Chain A
Amino acid sequence: MCDQTFMAATFGPCDSCGKASPLMNIYIKSEAINYCSFCVEMMACQQLQKGETLQSLKKESDSLKKKLEEERGKLNDVELHQVAEKVEVLSSLSIKTRRVLKGHGNKVLCVDWCKDKRRLVSSSQDGKAIVWDAFTLNKEHGVTLPCTWVMACAYAPSGCAVACGGLDNKCSVVPLSLDKNENLAAKKKSVAMHTNYVSGCTFTNSDMQLLTSSGDGTCALWDVESGQLLQSFHGHTADVLSLDLAPSETGNTFVSGGCDMKANVWDMRSGQNIQSFESHESDINCVRYYPSGDAFASASDDATCRFYDLRADREVAVYQKDSVIFGASSVDFSLSGRLLFAGYNDYTINVWDVLKGTRVSILFGHENRVSRVRVSPDGTALCSASWDNTLRIWA
Chain B
Amino acid sequence: MSSSSSIVAMKKVVQQLRYEASINRVKVSQAAAELQQFCMNNATQDPLLTGMSSSTNPFRPQKVCSFL
Whether the pair B4, A276 counts as a contact (CB closer than 8 A) is no
Contact of B17 among A64, A75, A395 (CB under 8 A): A64
A98 and B21 contact, Cβ closer than 8 Å, known pairs A334-B46, A335-B48: no
Residues from chain B with Cβ under 8 Å of A17 in the complex: none
A395 and B40 contact, Cβ closer than 8 Å, known pairs A76-B28, A84-B32, A339-B49: no
Whether the pair B17, A312 counts as a contact (CB closer than 8 A) is no
Whether the pair B20, A276 counts as a contact (CB closer than 8 A) is yes
Interface string of B37-63 (1 = CB under 8 A from A): 011111101111101100001111100
A57 and B36 contact, Cβ closer than 8 Å, known pairs A80-B28, A98-B60, A312-B25: no
Interface string of A269-302 (1 = CB under 8 A from B): 0001111100000000000001110110000000
Bound Cα distance from A337 to B45, whole angstroms: 11
Range of interface residues on A (Cβ < 8 Å): 35 or more
Which residue on chain A has the smallest CB distance to residue B29? A78
Whether the pair B28, A290 counts as a contact (CB closer than 8 A) is no
Bound Cα distance from A124 to B29, whole angstroms: 43
Q: Which of A23-31, A178-186, A193-201, A379-387 contacts B (4 or more CB under 8 A)?
A: A379-387
Interface string of A30-49 (1 = CB under 8 A from B): 00000000000010011010
Residues from chain B with Cβ under 8 Å of A380 in the complex: 47-48, 52, 57-59
Bound Cα distance from A380 to B46, whole angstroms: 8
- B23 within 8 Å of A (CB atoms): yes
- A54 within 8 Å of B (CB atoms): yes
- B66 within 8 Å of A (CB atoms): no
Bound Cα distance from A375 to B48, whole angstroms: 9
B5 → chain A closest CB, angstroms: 10
Contact of B28 among A75, A235, A334 (CB under 8 A): A75
B53 → chain A closest CB, angstroms: 11
Contact of B31 among A57, A65, A84, A309 (CB under 8 A): A309
Whether the pair B59, A87 counts as a contact (CB closer than 8 A) is no
Whether the pair A354, B39 counts as a contact (CB closer than 8 A) is yes
Contact of A335 among B40, B47, B59 (CB under 8 A): B47
A54 and B29 contact, Cβ closer than 8 Å, known pairs A98-B59, A395-B59: no
- A9 within 8 Å of B (CB atoms): no
Whether the pair B23, A393 counts as a contact (CB closer than 8 A) is no
Name the residue in B8, B23, B48, B52 with the highest tally of chain A Cβ atoms < 10 Å from its Cβ.
Answer: B48
Residues from chain B with Cβ under 8 Å of A79 in the complex: 28, 32
Whether the pair B35, A295 counts as a contact (CB closer than 8 A) is yes
Residues from chain A with Cβ under 8 Å of B60 in the complex: 98, 395
Whether the pair A316, B28 counts as a contact (CB closer than 8 A) is yes
Bound Cα distance from A46 to B7, whole angstroms: 8
Q: Which of A88-96, A215-223, A250-258, A322-330 contacts B (4 or more CB under 8 A)?
A: A88-96
Which residue on chain A has the smallest CB distance to residue B52? A380
Whether the pair A46, B4 counts as a contact (CB closer than 8 A) is yes
Whether the pair B25, A336 counts as a contact (CB closer than 8 A) is no
Interface string of B1-38 (1 = CB under 8 A from A): 00110111011011011111101011111111111101
Contact of A98 among B26, B29, B61 (CB under 8 A): B61
- A188 within 8 Å of B (CB atoms): no
If A57-B7, A72-B25, A292-B34 are given as contacts, then 18 extra A-B residue pairs at C-beta distance below 8 Å, sorted by A number, are A54-B7, A75-B26, A79-B32, A83-B36, A90-B49, A93-B51, A98-B59, A99-B59, A276-B20, A292-B35, A294-B31, A312-B30, A314-B28, A316-B31, A316-B32, A335-B47, A337-B39, A339-B49
Some 27 contacts from A to B, beta carbons below 8 A apart, are A42-B4, A54-B6, A60-B14, A64-B17, A68-B20, A71-B21, A72-B25, A78-B28, A80-B35, A90-B49, A94-B51, A95-B48, A99-B59, A290-B38, A295-B31, A311-B34, A312-B31, A313-B23, A335-B46, A335-B47, A335-B48, A337-B38, A339-B48, A381-B59, A393-B59, A395-B52, A395-B57
In the complex, the 3 A-B pairs of residues with the closest C-beta atoms, listed nearest first: A336-B42, A336-B46, A64-B17
Contact residues of B with A, CB < 8 Å? 3-4, 6-8, 10-11, 13-14, 16-21, 23, 25-36, 38-43, 45-49, 51-52, 57-61
